[in-house]
Amino acid sequence: MAVFEFRGVEVASGKSVKGFRDAENPKALRVVLRRDGILLTQATVESERVARDQKAVDPLAFMKRPSARDVSTMTRQLATLVRAGVPLVESVAALTEQVENQQLVRILTTVRESLNAGTSFAKSLEAHPKTFVTLYTNMIAAGEASGTLEAVLERLADFMEGQAKLRGKVAGALAYPALMSVFGMGLVAFLMIAVVPKVTTVFDSLGQALPWYTRLLITVSNIVGGYWWALIGGFVAAVYSFRRFKSTPSGKLRWETFRLKAPLFGRLELLACVARFCRTLATLLASGVQLLPALEIGRNVLENAKLEGVVDEAIVAIRGGDNIAEPLKRSRAFPPMVTHMIAVGERTGQLEAMLENVSRSYEADVEVRVTALTSILEPLIIVVLGVMVGFVAFAILMPLIQMNQLVE
């Protein structure tokens, strides 16, 4: 039985419809749709259409990709269906009619075909690594092996929703300061390029000596207005050089080590990475994934070369018979509370619970720190912008006031 993407017209209302449907052949599809009151106008076998789309270059493909929120919602719906006793193949089929993202619909259709062919659910998902990451497929594989797929799906949904919520809070909190910075720099650039040169011509016509701060303003304005192309080129070259530097292993390590020690943001970066690592490790271990594979997957969610190297060393030490806490403690990269809680969890056999507690504590700490940071940044940015604009106004107005007093 093939899966068709179809287009048709509702007989009753005349509205155009499209979707996916199983059928032996186009003729059988036409009969099935006619029963539903739909007149078939076009039918394409899904596998052929996917192959055709893969050959075509779509410049907007990145915008159509399923987001983490799409996958999280789909996982929650799948967990509900499986827990209700609906067979897995039927549950995936039902999701193709509920999911809104069309690319995710196509992926689920391919997964359903793979399941019908006898492939395991985890293997079917592994064919789509951009949508279902290694963490996702490993947890699904553990759930299938232990017969607790519905529980694993719910854990996955909780995990993804929690991560999305945390990232959303951080991004939302930093959005306003970033917007204010961009607006302020644009305003200052406009004053330098459009306003100051016009005032300069007035000063030149008067032939009076100008204060040092006005001369400084005019010099900066001339540089920005006359060599803007060089400034933009220099900025682009600096960004390119920095990206090249970060792309090398040593450069990436040095930069991400600096990020962990940077003032204001360093501690926030460390807490966010550790919270993500502990949450991931706890979720994997609770789902039945073995410790070493769980550590390897958890290493990938750290997104920091310094901490990733520490976890690599811990994996080597554990293979040699060491416990988890000791190599992490020796590195001094992880906070003492983390290593202490992990050591307690290993001794008491409650490692997953301890990791959950650490992740919960650090996620709350991240939220508090982000709120405090934005409360500092917002007035600081306003003050800096006010000083810059005030300096421009002062440097322009003071010579005019002095000249007016001389005339009087």
Give the domain 63-161 fold.
Answer: Receptor-associated Protein (1.20.81)
pLDDT for residue 233: 92
7-21, 102-116, 191-205: range with highest mean pLDDT: 102-116
Rounded Cα distance between 247 and 250, Å, is: 9
Task: Convert the pLDDT of each residue in 373-384 to its tens digit.
Answer: 878 887 888 888
Q: Decide if 79 contacts 86 (C-beta within 8 A).
A: no
User: 295: which 2 tokens?
Assistant: 């550590």
pLDDT for residue 51: 43
DSSP string, 176-237: HHHHHHHHHHHHHHHIIIIIHHHHHHHHHHHT----HHHHHHHHHHHHHHHSHHHHHHHHHH
pLDDT for residue 242: 93
Q: Decide if 116 contacts 41 (C-beta within 8 A).
A: no
234-238, 380-384, 390-394: range with highest mean pLDDT: 234-238
Provide the residue ranges of all domains of the chain, joining segments of one domain with +: 2-56, 63-161, 165-408
pLDDT for residue 240: 94
Q: Is the pLDDT of residue 13 over 80?
A: no
Q: How confident is the model at residue 15 (pLDDT cuts 50, 70, 90)?
A: confident
| DSSP SS3 for 289 | coil
Q: Is the pLDDT of residue 63 over 70?
A: no
Q: Is the pLDDT of residue 231 over 50?
A: yes
Task: Convert the pLDDT of each residue in 69-100 to its tens digit.
Answer: 888 888 888 888 888 888 888 888 888 878 88
Task: Convert the pLDDT of each residue in 266-288 to its tens digit.
Answer: 888 898 889 888 888 888 888 88
H/E run at residue 339: helix 336-348
Q: Is the pLDDT of residue 408 over 70?
A: no
H-assigned helices in 287-332: 291-300, 305-319, 325-331
Task: Convert the pLDDT of each residue in 237-267 to its tens digit.
Answer: 999 999 999 889 899 899 989 988 888 788 8
pLDDT for residue 48: 47
